[in-house]
Amino acid sequence: MKLYYAVGTCSLSPHIVASEAGIPLELQRVALGKDPEYAAINPKGYVPALRLDDGSVLTEGVAIVQYLADRAPESGLAPQAGTPARYELQSWLTFISSELHKMYSPWLFHPEYGEQAQNVAREKIATRLALVERHLSKGGPFLLGSTFTAADAYLFTIVGWSSYAKVDLAPYRHLRDFMNRVSERPKVREAILGHGMKIASY
Ligand SMILES: N[C@@H](CCC(=O)N[C@@H](CS)C(=O)NCC(=O)O)C(=O)O
């Protein structure tokens, strides 16, 4: 399988899931917006995309991480389809995608939107992070409890943008503990470095 990725982006999330699942990935770096060949592979133009072994291309991070996790059910990265725990995973993945990912990006990555719009995005993000903080304060240590899942990989990836996006994580002690805990996992570190990124502490 081949992962189309770009440094510093949400394509880190499927990379972490593959690494944790023990699935070897061929990696192809994409120059976002400047790569006509990639536009033919994924007409959406963005990363991530996953070339499957049958040659087809799967897009959307939330679908890709579940596809990868389902290739290694013993990893626990995604609970079995149809179980309440799987719907809980999907609930978190959707929350991270629509309430966090798409609040950080594009809003906080494009200064041309202006400070007022960016501050509105930061306020929204703060209410969402407070919710995650309350959830993790109940013990966690991960979103679904004791097992690291694809939702943790995605949350880690997006919250990892906070310093760049000037989102202050100081009020969220449990979330910062979570970030440090995840970044200490050897397979996560492998994925971060393989993605051309640096390991941070929170
Ligand atoms: N809905 C997509 C969004 C992916 C996305 O926002 N990718 C960003 C990087 S984090 C990107 O490639 N942006 C470039 C663009 O939109 O052209 C997903 O969740 O996979």
Nearest CA to ligand 1 atom 16: 46
With the CA atoms of 96, 98, 104 and 109 taken in that order, what torsion angle do they form, in degrees rounded to the nearest 10?
A: 130
Give yes or no for residue 60 CB within 6 A of ligand 1.
yes
CA of 136 to the centre of ligand 1 (A): 27
pLDDT of residue 76: 98
**pLDDT tens readout for residues 124-136:** 999 999 999 999 9
CA of 38 to the centre of ligand 1 (A): 13
CA of 117 to the centre of ligand 1 (A): 20
**pLDDT tens readout for residues 24-35:** 999 999 999 899
Q: CATH 1.10.3720.10: does it fit domain 84-184?
A: no
Q: Give the CATH class of 2-75.
A: alpha beta
CA of 32 to the centre of ligand 1 (A): 9
Give yes or no for residue 46 CB within 6 A of ligand 1.
yes
**pLDDT tens readout for residues 129-177:** 999 999 999 999 999 999 999 999 999 999 999 999 999 999 999 999 9
pLDDT of residue 117: 93
